[in-house]
């Protein structure tokens, strides 16, 4: 890259010098740093011409060549602002600092990023042992700074030495305690990590700049258009392939993921669930190809499947049965529906078990905390809490048994589509709101 050189002025030698230095470093410096070197030498030569007197910030030469300090700082400081999908795919390349900001309006990405961040911290151990980190969650709408500081300084008798404090819905907290958070970034608690989950995070604020400089900022935003959207979709495809391989031990072929994004909207949560469903439908080779996507993925059927599951969980059996009938009439295989239903209902069963165990141990927990513990994404917590209340503890405790029985029935040697349909209908009716006694 050869930068433009002016030689028709009195400072031509300085211009040539700046360009020469930039050209010599071309193979070693990124373009931004090359530009910083170039402008730095321009300004240095201009000051020499001016009798070694520094230029004031409002002078013409300063305005003409721009903020040199900002350019050099940007060039020398590695970026700690990363897209969520990059972090989820290569978290080891983005070590978290004492304070991390998870920003953006995509609730699913924020949830996945938070769990990946905690997992990444779990891998960092001074003694080389993979210890489970101690972490605590706060609601930023009502949390007080004093409570956060107490939690950050607290040490547990069990678990790792590292303490993680997550503040969900932290926009209100940032607004109330911005100055105190700025001071905390300058002198954070050692062996503790503060995670702020916010929907808005303007990069021009002092707090955002401080976190980007000494901590880590992860953007959970889905771009709407332009080059950013193109880059996001590329990262999304790579991440879906990564998820299929790491979490489901399947191979998601590149043409298959291309087709998946053609048939579904760019909603990360829906695509994540679809990859999970497709992975369950693979043969012994564990390959998700275009035929599998074409046969089992569709806009209308995908939406109706999740609508059916929500209706069943909310006890609206008649509506759920009607949606099941429409799905089967549209060609959906009943054997493919049970894994999706089970993925939701298993979380309810796990939450009920965690809730009961906490009671028995004398440390009761809220339903919301139990659901979060069972893996329900944060953007689904409110709806899931109402659904679990509707199901009730007695039925929730039997969900594991019901799901196992349904799975065995569908895998039976004589399990045709009609028999599989009756199995799904039985499961829906068992969760009906009108059901009083369950045998």
Residue 22 pLDDT exceeds 50: no
Helices 381-410 and 334-360: crossing angle in degrees, nearest 10, is 120
3-state secondary structure at position 295: helix
Mean pLDDT of 118-131: 62
DSSP 78: P
Would you give the end-to-end CA distance of the chain in angstroms? Answer: 76
Residue with tokens 């503040």: 167
pLDDT at 207 over 70: yes
Read off the pLDDT of residues 320-350 as tens digits, 9 standing for 90 and up: 999 898 888 777 788 888 888 998 899 999 9
CA dihedral 62, 66, 69, 70 (to 10 degrees): 150
pLDDT band for position 156 (cuts 50, 70, 90): low
Give the residue, 270 or 61, on which the prediction is more confident: 270
Helix (H, G, I), strand (E, B) or coil at 24: helix
Distance of CA 345 to the CA centre of its chain: 23
**Distance separating alpha carbons of residues 360 and 194, to the nearest angstrom:** 31
* Structure tokens that stand for 86 in this block: 């990059």
Q: Span 141-152, mean pLDDT?
A: 91
pLDDT of residue 70: 45
Q: How far apart are CA 201 and CA 197, in angstroms?
A: 10
Q: What's the CA gap between 229 and 63, in Å, rounded?
A: 34
Question: CA-CA distance, 145 to 384, in Å (whole number)?
Answer: 29
Q: What is the DSSP string of 105-169?
A: S-HHHHHHHHHHHHHHHHT--TTS--PPPEEEEEETTT--HHHHHHHHH---SSS-S-EEEEEES
Mean of all residue pLDDT scores within the chain:
79
pLDDT digits (tens, 9 = 90+) for 286-324: 999 988 988 887 656 666 788 899 999 999 999 999 989
Q: Is the separation of the CB atoms in 176 and 143 below 8 Å?
A: no
- Per-residue confidence at 145, pLDDT binned at 50, 70, 90? very high
- Residue 43, pLDDT score: 60
Query: How many Cα atoms are found within 13 Å in the side-chain-facing hemisphere of 28?
Result: 7
Confidence label for 229 from pLDDT (cuts 50, 70 and 90): confident
Report the pLDDT averaged over residues 224-243: 89
Query: How far is residue 184's CA from residue 429's CA, in Å, rounded to a whole number?
Result: 54
Choose the most confident range, by mean pLDDT, from 108-112, 119-123, 225-229, 387-391: 387-391
Query: Residues 6 or more apart from 245 whose CB is under 8 A from it?
Result: 251, 252
- Angle of CA points 304, 345, 359, to nearest 5°: 145
pLDDT of residue 277: 86
At 230 the pLDDT is: 85
Structure tokens at 414: 């004589």
HSE toward the beta carbon, residue 64, CA cutoff 13 A: 7
- For the ranges 19-23, 87-91, 375-379, the lowest mean pLDDT is seen at 19-23
Check pLDDT > 60 for residue 437. no
pLDDT at 134: 66
pLDDT of residue 75: 41
Q: Which residues, in sequence order, are bridge partners of residue 318?
A: none
Which residues are CB-neighbours of 281 under 8 A, at least 6 positions away? Answer: 292, 296, 336, 339
Spatial contact of 163 and 154, defined as CB atoms under 8 Å apart: yes
Taking alpha carbons only, the member of 177, 90, 179, 91 closest to residue 142 is: 177
DSSP β-bridge partners for residue 348: none
What pLDDT is attached to residue 7? 37
Render pLDDT for 251-295 as a digit per residue (tens, 0 to 9).
999 999 998 988 787 888 889 888 988 998 888 889 999 889 888
Q: Can you tell me the distance from the alpha carbon of 100 to that of 114, in angstroms, rounded to the nearest whole number? A: 10
Residue 275 near residue 288, CB atoms below 8 Å: yes
pLDDT value of position 266: 82
Is the overall model pTM greater than 0.75, yes or no? Answer: no
Q: Which of 27-31, 87-91, 143-147 has the least mean pLDDT?
A: 27-31
């Amino acid at each position: 890259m050869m930068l433009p050189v002016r030689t028709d002025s009195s400072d031509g030698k300085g211009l040539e010098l700046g360009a020469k230095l930039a050209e010599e470093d071309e193979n070693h410096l990124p373009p931004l740093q090359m530009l910083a070197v170039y402008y730095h030498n321009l300004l240095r030569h201009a000051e020499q011409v001016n009798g070694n007197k520094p230029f004031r910030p409002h002078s013409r030469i300063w305005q003409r060549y721009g903020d040199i300090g900002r350019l050099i700082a940007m060039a020398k400081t590695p970026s700690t602002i990363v897209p969520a999908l990059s972090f989820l795919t290569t978290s080891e390349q983005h070590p978290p600092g004492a304070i991390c900001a998870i920003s953006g309006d995509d609730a699913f990405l924020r949830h996945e990023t938070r769990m990946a961040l905690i997992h990444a911290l779990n891998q960092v151990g001074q003694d080389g042992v993979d210890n489970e980190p101690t972490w605590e969650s706060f609601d930023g709408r009502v949390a007080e700074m004093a409570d956060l500081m107490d939690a950050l300084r607290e040490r547990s008798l069990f678990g790792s030495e590292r303490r993680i404090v997550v503040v969900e819905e932290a926009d209100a907290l940032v607004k109330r305690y911005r100055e105190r958070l700025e001071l905390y970034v300058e002198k954070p608690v050692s062996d503790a990590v503060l995670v702020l989950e916010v929907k808005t995070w303007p990069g021009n604020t002092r707090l955002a700049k401080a976190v980007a400089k000494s901590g880590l900022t992860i953007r959970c935003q889905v771009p709407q258009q332009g080059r950013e959207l193109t880059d996001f979709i590329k990262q999304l495809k790579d991440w879906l392939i990564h998820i299929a391989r790491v979490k489901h031990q399947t191979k998601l072929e590149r043409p298959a993921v291309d087709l998946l994004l053609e048939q579904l909207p760019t909603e990360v949560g829906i695509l994540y669930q679809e990859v999970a469903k497709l992975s369950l439908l693979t043969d012994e080779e564990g390959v998700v190809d275009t035929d599998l996507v074409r046969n089992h993925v569709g806009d209308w059927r995908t939406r109706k499947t999740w609508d059916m599951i929500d209706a069943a969980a909310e006890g609206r059996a008649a509506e759920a049965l009607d949606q099941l009938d429409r799905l089967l009439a549209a060609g959906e295989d009943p054997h493919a529906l049970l894994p999706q239903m089970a993925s939701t209902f298993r979380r309810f069963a796990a939450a009920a078990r965690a809730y009961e165990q906490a009671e028995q141990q004398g440390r009761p927990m809220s339903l919301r905390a139990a659901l979060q513990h069972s893996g329900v994404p944060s953007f689904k917590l409110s709806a899931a809490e109402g659904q679990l209340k509707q199901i009730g503890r007695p039925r929730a405790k039997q969900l594991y048994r019901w799901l196992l029985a349904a799975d065995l029935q569908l895998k039976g040697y004589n399990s045709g589509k009609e028999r599989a349909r009756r199995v799904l209908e039985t499961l829906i009716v068992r969760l009906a709101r009108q059901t009083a006694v369950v045998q």
